[in-house]
Amino acid sequence: MLFCPTCANILMVEEGPEQGLRYACNTCPYIYNIKRKVYSRTFPKLKELDYIMGGAAAWENVDSTDAVCPKCAHGRAFFMQLQTRSADEPMTTFYRCCNHKCAHNWRD
């Protein structure tokens, strides 16, 4: 948002008589012609899976099972089950690859 340098009110975008769009103040005669279109988009940073599930400490005392890692094709993975939905839905199983170089996380 831009504010009027004269009276500090918010500037509104309106169509000008000749030059396209312009910023105009509703309380004073300030007008500023828009010379180019400025566009920017900011995406929020998504939380990491470890952060949601308690970090690295949550994986310290878990069991391992025969599961193939989709990233490195290692044959073993640590797993834990959490109730992520309502009680009448099945538990979600989270996996972490046993290969310490990979440590890929996925869920089933």
Per-residue tens of pLDDT for the chain, all 108 residues: 689 999 999 999 998 887 688 899 999 999 988 887 777 889 998 877 666 667 677 778 889 999 999 999 999 999 998 888 899 999 999 999 999 898 899 988
98 is in an annotated binding site: no
Rounded CA separation 35/55 (Å): 49
Shared-domain flag, residues 53 and 35: no
Shared-domain flag, residues 54 and 91: yes
Shared-domain flag, residues 56 and 95: yes
Shared-domain flag, residues 64 and 95: yes
Using a cut of 0.85, tell me whether the model's pTM lies above it: no
pLDDT at res. 84: 84
pLDDT at res. 29: 92
CATH number, domain containing residue 103:
2.20.25.10
* Range(s) of the domain holding residue 80: 49-107
Shared-domain flag, residues 4 and 28: yes
Strand order through the sheet with 105-107: 63-66, 76-82, 92-97, 105-107
pLDDT at res. 82: 86
